[in-house]
A = this chain, B = another copy of it.
């Protein structure tokens, strides 16, 4: 028995089970024990909003493998309802409590894996303990929320936090017949993930779907009667709510590690090296309780993600059984379904690029995901952020009913490998009408940014144009669409003029050569061409509105595009 590797894993979410299963494949005789403080292990936590929505059913489909299956399939001892109280590093053991039998004991280890995940941040506001105020972390939470959904008569809900879980839960609760209000302290939805021009399009869509947004409002208390919530109080108003979901973020569960004297990072993460080894060589950590190298910036970041946790498990399994595998880091890809919109992001945002101090360029296009003649073609808005000094792609974002996520995955791969916009412009992506247009939105985007960096054209964001209108700036807002299109959808502004692109060359003499001209169309393509034409004819100050009306988040007269 001397040579048998005795492995103890704390945590049964994603990283823990992955570690356990792979250790068994790499080491047929190791003793493997996985400790979980709840009754279920290895379930699809990311699927919980869809279980609540009724999209995923039945409940047991969310469970990848239960404790008995782990024993049978991988000879892993799973201790459920068991809490690790302390780690005794000197003694190479953990002190645990069986929560069902209220019994404490110790377990020795040769290698210890900490996969304790991240816990929900709960705001310290009065009466948050009312029945009906809930976080969503595990299956019992989902069960309880479903119970509440079915119980309440007046279907009003407040979601605190417009992050990924917040917007997923908004969709789930609307599907369950609720009037949903999202309260978010920041001024944008998904503010940590997206630049405002992209997140404003998400916000517009949420509103189109009936979700009420209270942005820039802080939750200050909950109100209730008979111990049940009936309202959420913000710094500005009180909102009726028979159900409240608190989803303002997560933080690494590193208390055990910290108390054991392991090195802890500035974000509360358990410090690990590229091999996911902690400051104690016999202890590894992975999943949401550690930070990851951001491949773009070279800095460590928190990026709680079930996919990353699985990859960590794979690597830890190798490294505690004699291997030597490295985790290369993340590019912070994320995606979320928001009703009929697909929303994705990767790398860093423009906001982050500015904070870090990059000399950067950006581009935004609206493009169909399939050739516009092919049935089922849908619009996408795509944005990239590029290092203006070497053309390297730093980040990308997308939103719309079209297949945005394919483009974000391409960008994730490109960014991981340090691709430049010159390469992206010529990237040999799959082309056939059922799958793509001859040039992908990413090709257009890369060419746009190259043209902007080369000074061939100047872009302006729709939100900046709106500010110019509100400031009553003296400029021409030139619409180059057809008269028919302009009848359907118009921007209300005295600066507007209409000259359809096909007649621009013959009618441009009506435009003042010295005045600022901002050209727009439906999606930006014609506006770009018109801007080139005007620049070629020596108009001095010509800009085109990137993404044009498709990316216009404010009111229009008539029918909005997106």
Contacts and interface: CB of A to CB of B under 8 A. Distances in A.
A55 B375 contact: yes
Q: Identify the 9 closest CB pairs spanning chains A and B, nearest first.
A: A28-B536, A417-B417, A307-B431, A335-B430, A61-B373, A413-B413, A25-B532, A337-B434, A406-B406
B311 A425 contact: yes
Contacts of A414: 413, 417
Contacts of A56: 373-375, 433
B73 A501 contact: yes
Contact of A439 (B26, B310, B456): B310
A360 interface: no
Contact of A50 (B374, B410, B440): B374
A286 to B, nearest CB: 12
A502 B73 contact: yes
Contacts of A151: none
* Residue from A371, A443, A502 whose CB has the most chain B CB atoms within 10 Å: A371
A419 interface: yes
A334 interface: yes
Nearest to A46: B433
A240 to B, nearest CB: 30
Given A44-B433, A428-B333, A432-B337, A69 B306 contact: no
Given A44-B433, A314-B447, A414-B417, A327 B426 contact: yes
Contacts of A295: 428
A529 interface: yes
Contacts of A403: 406
Interface in A502-553: 502-503, 505, 529, 532-533, 536-537
A138 interface: no
Interface string A201-232: 00000000000000000000000000000000
Contacts of A145: none
Nearest to A454: B323
Interface in A483-514: 501-503, 505
Contacts of A47: 371, 373-374, 433
A107 interface: no
Given A25-B533, A417-B423, 16 more contacts: A24-B532, A28-B536, A46-B433, A47-B371, A75-B505, A307-B428, A307-B429, A314-B425, A330-B428, A333-B431, A335-B430, A337-B434, A405-B436, A410-B413, A413-B414, A416-B423
Interface in A317-370: 327-337, 342, 344, 346
* Residue from A56, A311, A408, A503 whose CB has the most chain B CB atoms within 10 Å: A311
Contact of A412 (B334, B373, B427): B427
A426 to B, nearest CB: 5
B416 A418 contact: no
Interface of A: 14, 21, 24-29, 44, 46-47, 50, 55-56, 61-62, 69, 72-73, 75, 164, 295, 305-311, 314-315, 327-337, 342, 344, 346, 371-375, 403, 405-406, 408-410, 412-414, 416-419, 422-423, 425-436, 438-440, 443, 447, 456, 501-503, 505, 529, 532-533, 536-537
A536 B28 CA distance: 5
B502 A69 contact: yes
A327 B423 CA distance: 9
Contacts of A408: 430
B406 A438 contact: no
A429 B409 contact: yes
B430 A412 contact: yes
A68 to B, nearest CB: 9
Contact of A413 (B337, B419, B533): B419
B428 A332 contact: yes
20 contacts: A25-B532, A25-B536, A44-B371, A56-B433, A72-B505, A164-B432, A305-B431, A306-B431, A307-B428, A307-B436, A311-B425, A314-B447, A333-B428, A337-B435, A405-B436, A410-B412, A413-B427, A416-B423, A417-B418, A417-B419
Contact of A529 (B25, B164, B330, B335): B25
Contact of A428 (B309, B331, B422): B331
Contacts of A308: 428
B426 A328 contact: yes
